[in-house]
Amino acid sequence: MTFLEVIIYIMKDKLKEIYSSENFKETGHELVELLAKYISDSEKQDIPVNNYMEPNEQLEYWRNYKLDDKNPITLFQDIIEKSIHIHNPKYIGHQVSAPAPLAALSNLFTALMNNSMAIYEMGPASTAIEKAVVEEISNKIGYGEKGDGYITSGGTLANLTALLAARAVIVKSDIWETGYNEKLAVMVSEEAHYCVDRACRIMGFGTDGIIKIPVGDKFTMKTELLGEYFAKAEKEEIRVIAVVGSAPSTSTGMHDDLEAIAEFCSEKKLWFHIDGAHGGGAIYSKKYKHLLKGIEKADSVVIDAHKMLMMPSLMTFLMFKNKMDSYATFSQKAQYLWESSDEEEWYNMAKRTFECTKQMMGVKFYTLLKVYGEEVFNQFVTNQYDLGQELARLAKMRNNIQLATEPESNIVCFRYFEPKFSNQELNQRNSYIRSKILRKGDFYIVQTLLNDLVYMRATIMNPLTTSLIFEELLDEVEKLGCEKTS
Ligand SMILES: *Cc1c(COP(=O)(O)O)cnc(C)c1O
């Protein structure tokens, strides 16, 4: 053999090793052992929620990292240590789910199968499974058979896509071919997720194109102001195409009055979009679905399954009241992908999605549905929202804790409070408390600014979080609140 042939031979050997089913089996078993221990340690709180490191320190660590034993399990173990542990019931911070282990396993399964989903041939089973799952969601929303939709990669992308559809449907001229020179706008509560603002700017609407409606003392849109803001926009020759309702808004977990928005949109012939990224999953909750009253009137709805439906990231439903609207967004010809550019072809997903290649996301949801039934989603959402009420109840019993508002969901905002301190002093103290908690690592909560006041924000994502944990957290907040901050 020549030198070159030897090199090629060795490389091929490496490839054989990488693709060997025996290696997969061995490492796979070890990985499952490691993750089972992670779940168990987290649930028993034997490991902290996180081992906080400053960003640059973390970067140095991984830049200089040497995997001496070349064992991926060693690497995974190290990553666990330096990660946030969402399965620890003291994780009550951002709206990221503690994924159901079975859903995570089906993610592993689909990662290996890797059917690409853009067209039917490249994901026959998963394409049909997605359609079946989407039909279930359509029924739950109350759209029934007329509705349709698909699964896409995250709420941010789904909100953008919904607003692109709104633009295509409401503005009758052929934007896709000719562009547009009208000034267009979307109306949304000032408490909405920033991605709605970003979507409008991506579409070229500019600052004038995002009309923020003030909120009342419950942090929800003052829908009685819609008419006034609409008239003002008309006068400035800005054409409003849609109103976005938050269900709920991210900071406070409070729901806009969807019925009122629906009525306004129907009167003015506007697109009604619901950003239900966080709380859309409540369509499954017998006890809390009333929070989504009017959802079936929305032209489009976004629901993140990786928030309140126990799925690992990412997995988002983008649903449309009228099936044909879901085909209106993109009208591109890609003859090498689909059979005819003018037909619906539900089975050729890329006709409707922003993505071309996309993950087999429907499979993880379908797996839970088939194994446990939809009742599990009712239980999950109901349990988490009940826990939100419980945290609020316990907080109200404390002299030095103040709620931002009575919560409606599993998002609860509260702050340390003493009447003798100014709001400025209180803001400092609350930021101090939250920063101490982050660095200590026993709990994870976040903070938010409401009417210029710093609040701590807890989102109860783990079904194993208990009242006892809330009591411990509130004790800690009160204790740190008394400490001198400077
Ligand atoms: C989380 C959230 C989003 C963003 O969704 P991603 O899946 O994180 O992209 C949008 N809107 C609301 C109301 C949210 O809570």
Q: How is residue 281 written in tokens?
A: 């999953």
Q: What are phi and psi of 432, to 5 degrees?
A: -60, -45
Q: Does 409 share its domain with 301?
A: no
Whole-number Å distance, alpha carbon 316 to ligand 1 midpoint, is: 10
Q: Does 368 share its domain with 386?
A: no
Q: Is the CB of 275 under 6 A from ligand 1?
A: yes
CATH number at residue 165: 3.40.640.10
Q: Is the CB of 156 under 6 A from ligand 1?
A: yes
Q: Is the CB of 304 under 6 A from ligand 1?
A: yes
Of ligand 1's atoms, which has the minimum distance to the CA of residue 314?
7
Contact 291, 330 (CB under 8 A): no
Q: Is residue 256 part of a domain?
A: yes
Contact 281, 461 (CB under 8 A): no
Q: Does 334 share its domain with 381?
A: no
Q: Is the CB of 154 under 6 A from ligand 1?
A: yes
Mutate to test the pocket of ligand 1, among 163, 193, 309 (most ligand atoms within 8 A of CB): 193
Model confidence pLDDT, tens digit, residues 5-55: 777 777 778 899 999 999 999 999 999 999 999 999 999 999 999 999 999
Of ligand 1's atoms, which has the minimum distance to the CA of residue 158?
9
- Residue that finishes a domain, picked among 336, 356, 372: 372
Whole-number Å distance, alpha carbon 395 to ligand 1 midpoint, is: 27
Q: Is the CB of 278 under 6 A from ligand 1?
A: yes
Mutate to test the pocket of ligand 1, among 156, 300, 303 (most ligand atoms within 8 A of CB): 156
Of ligand 1's atoms, which has the minimum distance to the CA of residue 95?
1
Whole-number Å distance, alpha carbon 17 to ligand 1 midpoint, is: 41
Supply the pTM of this predicted model: 0.96
Domain range for 241 is: 115-372
96 CB neighbour count, 10 Å cutoff: 16
* Angle (nearest 5°) at CA 100 between 94 and 101: 120
Residue located nearest, by CA, to atom 2 of ligand 1: 277
Q: Does 265 share its domain with 128?
A: yes
Tell me the DSSP string of 238-297: EEEEEEEEESS-TTT-PPP-HHHHHHHHHHHT-EEEEE-TTTGGGGG-TTTGGGGTTGGG
Q: Is residue 286 part of a domain?
A: yes
Q: Is residue 180 part of a domain?
A: yes
Counting Cβ atoms within 10 Å, is residue 141 exposed (0-12), middle (13-18) or buried (19+)? buried
* Phi-psi label, residue 59: left if phi above 0, alpha if psi -120 to 50, beta otherwise: alpha
Tally of domains within the chain? 2
Q: Does 368 share its domain with 383?
A: no
Whole-number Å distance, alpha carbon 157 to ligand 1 midpoint, is: 9
- In whole angstroms, give the CA distance from residue 364 to residue 362: 6
Q: Does 360 share its domain with 401?
A: no
Q: Does 171 share its domain with 287?
A: yes
Q: Does 284 share its domain with 314?
A: yes
Q: Is residue 349 part of a domain?
A: yes
Q: Does 151 share its domain with 285?
A: yes
Query: Alpha helices, DSSP H only, in 142-225?
Result: 155-170, 175-178, 194-202
Average pLDDT per run of 10 along the chain, which is 486 residues long?
76 88 97 98 95 97 97 98 98 96 98 93 95 97 96 98 95 83 96 96 96 97 98 98 98 98 98 98 98 98 98 97 90 64 79 92 98 98 98 97 98 97 96 96 97 97 98 97 77
Q: Does 361 share its domain with 442?
A: no
Q: Does 135 share its domain with 219?
A: yes
Q: Is the CB of 277 under 6 A from ligand 1?
A: yes
Q: Is residue 284 part of a domain?
A: yes
Q: Does 226 share its domain with 315?
A: yes
Q: Is residue 31 part of a domain?
A: no
Whole-number Å distance, alpha carbon 109 to ligand 1 midpoint, is: 26
- In whole angstroms, give the CA distance from residue 18 to residue 16: 5
At a CB cut-off of 8 Å and minimum separation 6, what does 48 contact?
85, 88, 441, 442
Whole-number Å distance, alpha carbon 165 to ligand 1 midpoint, is: 18
Mutate to test the pocket of ligand 1, among 278, 302, 411 (most ligand atoms within 8 A of CB): 278
pLDDT at residue 58, rounded to an integer: 98
Q: Is the CB of 250 under 6 A from ligand 1?
A: yes
Q: Is the CB of 196 under 6 A from ligand 1?
A: no
Q: Is the CB of 195 under 6 A from ligand 1?
A: yes
Of ligand 1's atoms, which has the minimum distance to the CA of residue 316?
7
Whole-number Å distance, alpha carbon 355 to ligand 1 midpoint, is: 18
Cα–Cα nearest to 248, from 304, 165, 300: 304
pLDDT at residue 426, rounded to an integer: 97
CATH number at residue 452: 3.90.1150.170
Whole-number Å distance, alpha carbon 189 to ligand 1 midpoint, is: 15
Mutate to test the pocket of ligand 1, among 275, 316, 354 (most ligand atoms within 8 A of CB): 275
Say which DSSP state 71 is in. -
Residue located nearest, by CA, to atom 6 of ligand 1: 155
Q: Is the CB of 200 under 6 A from ligand 1?
A: no
Q: Is residue 307 part of a domain?
A: yes
Q: Is residue 28 part of a domain?
A: no
Whole-number Å distance, alpha carbon 246 to ligand 1 midpoint, is: 10
DSSP β-bridge partners for residue 415: 402
Torsion sign (Cα): 149, 154, 160, 161: negative
- Residue that finishes a domain, picked among 312, 337, 372: 372
At a CB cut-off of 8 Å and minimum separation 6, what does 265 contact?
242, 243, 271, 272, 299
- Residue that finishes a domain, picked among 345, 372, 399: 372
Whole-number Å distance, alpha carbon 142 to ligand 1 midpoint, is: 22
Whole-number Å distance, alpha carbon 301 to ligand 1 midpoint, is: 12
